[in-house]
Structure 1
């Protein structure tokens, strides 16, 4: 089989459409997973410095359902969640666009992982920081926003970056709910024109390049935060 550059040129308009959808899903899914993961982490994390290793969270009645929900989501395949949200929820009157459903599914799924990352970062903040905030009589919100979270998030940037790359590699799953991201566009083009090598190769190279650029950006961000 010979490499056909004309097939590459013909596929490129479809590639750019798929790339736009992939980047949208990645950016919005990442923002949702980071924000929702932080919410889960705060609900599962002690609010009193002296109770950091013994507290059950803000309230046992809050911590228990949050723990059940996050464990269920984390232990359920993303593919199953996509099918449920896109094909089952409409039976109950909840209908969303395919892209919105995919973004929500990815964000929700990965929020259960970023939650653990945030919790590790919060636990890594020295106890003296909590004690200093208490000694200064800082309000609870000020303690979290000005003292604890800035230090915790700085520590977990590399781990969060790894999940961004994982989310990128999971975006092809959106194809099962009719979202034509990069791989979906390549698959559709290949079936229509019976040319598989060129579109799939372009997609593979694109994933490598995007992942590499994301790694470089995250390293630069990490160095900047360290300074």
Structure 2
């Protein structure tokens, strides 16, 4: 490649690894929040109590239809005026997790709706408590069905992680953009582009293999 300078890449690598660490932290912790909170949303939306299901549905619809960037700005700049101030990374993790929890909620809901009616009827015939029905019968089947879809949202979260650099949490792309602006070079951007492919593509392959395994 004409004009490629390996010394620039060498200078960028320490900041690159710092960015990788931030990216992986945001991705791992954000995914945990999205998976756990999404299940809470899905169960709350199925509640027989209207005062629970309606507000939860309204909140999740609002979050899902609001840009992630706006939510990050709100959490970082507005929330501290009447609540606790958070570091850029913590804000980014919460923002990613909260935003994607509304999507995983729909995935869980589809998985729960996909459980055969006979499973519910069998649990009722056996007089299983409601909690036992959910934890031992319904959720194990529903979650198994939706694992590939949840994995797809992890990859989507990875691709959206550069947004947290806007509030000062410099992940891979944020570090690359900052370095490029300081040195007037482009090598760092290309290195990060390759890094995203090296992370996302194997993950996609593993998800396809997992999906085939679960189908069998």
TM-score (norm 1): 0.91
The yes-or-no answer on 1:80 pairing with 2:81 is: no
Q: Which runs of 5 or more residues in structure 1 are unaligned?
A: 46-56
Distance 2:50 2:83 in 1: 33
Q: Which residue of 1 aligns with 2:197?
A: 208
Residue 6 of structure 2 aligns with which residue? 5
Match of residue 58 from structure 2: 68
Distance 1:206 1:12 in 2: 12
For 1:13-162, list aligned pairs within 5 A: 13-45=14-46, 57-162=47-152
1:50 is matched with none
Question: How far apart, CA to CA, are the structure 1 residues paired with 2:98 and 2:106?
Answer: 14
Stretches of 4+ moved more than 4 A in 1?
Answer: 223-227
Residue by residue over 1:44-73, the C-alpha shift from the partner in whole angstroms, topping out at 9 and shown as x without a partner, is 12xxxxxxxxxxx33001011101111110
Indicate the residue corresponding to 1:199 in structure 2: 188
Task: Specify the SS of the correspondent of 1:38.
Answer: helix
Tell me which residue corresponds to 1:170: 160
User: How well do the aligned residues superpose, as a CA RMSD in angstroms?
Assistant: 1.3
Q: Is the 8 A contact 2:145 2:214 kept in 1?
A: no
1:52 matched to which residue of 2?
none
Q: So what's the TM-score if we normalise by structure 2? A: 0.95
SS of aligned partner of 2:86: coil
Structure 1 distance, partners of 2:128, 2:136, is 10
Unaligned runs of 5+ in 2: none
Structure 2 CA distance for partners of 1:146 and 1:226, relative to 1, 3 Å: farther
Q: CA deviation at 1:218?
A: 2.6
- Contact conserved, 1:98 with 1:179, CA < 8 A, in 2? yes
Distance 2:28 2:127 in 1: 38
